[in-house]
């Protein structure tokens, strides 16, 4: 049986509009134009989509895990309206100084996903808008892909020699992945 293909997405700045003040409620969670359709497109071509996201707003006291669940419920409902789904969501609730293994650029969340789903991470792509997303992917041998939405444009300016594919947005990245992996 053919193993499913997985794509790992950062959330803020890739799927939804980012905010330096954090996304603290379902009302503040607004999809980036085309991102929901990109997930549906990936699903329709056999890709399973997994979200891997740092959520230090929990550690900082801006929102709690119940609120995060509500935010993800809204995200999943919008995605289901397009006939698509997110297979799983992995999040790090810790702050930058907490010395955890799960906060990107560390690879703990990616390794947990790989263990849970028995996936070889070298066959996956990690799509993010920040250097730490790409670094986490590189640590496990995944293909790093940068989108220019969210903090992506600034990430590219700050790191002009990135070892990553670069796309305007998630929809363009999804189209490219599908085109490269047509069988």
Q: What positions carry a catalytic annotation?
A: 10, 12
Among the listed residues 179, 172, 125, the one whose alpha carbon sits nearest the alpha carbon of residue 147: 172
Residue bearing tokens 């907490």:
98
Residue 182, CA atoms < 13 Å, CB-side half-sphere: 4
Q: Is 67 exposed, middle or buried (0-12, 13-18, 19+ CB in 10 A)?
A: middle
Return the number of other C-beta atoms located less than 10 Å from residue 18's C-beta.
21
Position of tokens 């609120």?
67
């Amino acid at each position: 049986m053919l193993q499913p293909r997985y794509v790992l997405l950062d959330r803020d700045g890739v799927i939804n509009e980012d905010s330096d003040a954090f996304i603290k409620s379902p009302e503040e969670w607004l999809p980036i134009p085309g991102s929901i359709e990109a997930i549906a497109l990936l699903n329709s071509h056999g890709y399973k989509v997994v979200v891997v996201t740092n959520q230090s707003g929990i550690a900082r006291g801006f929102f709690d895990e119940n609120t995060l669940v509500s935010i993800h419920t809204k995200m999943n409902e919008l995605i289901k309206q397009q006939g698509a789904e997110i297979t799983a969501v992995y999040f790090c609730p810790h702050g930058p100084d907490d010395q955890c293994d799960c906060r990107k650029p560390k690879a703990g969340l990616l390794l947990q996903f790989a263990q849970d789903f028995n996936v070889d991470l070298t066959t996956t792509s990690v799509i993010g808008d920040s250097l730490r997303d790409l670094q986490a992917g590189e640590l496990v041998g995944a293909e790093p892909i940068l989108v220019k939405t969210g903090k992506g444009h600034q990430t590219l300016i700050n790191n002009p020699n990135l070892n990553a594919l670069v796309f305007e947005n998630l929809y363009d990245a999804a189209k490219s992945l599908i085109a490269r992996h047509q069988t």
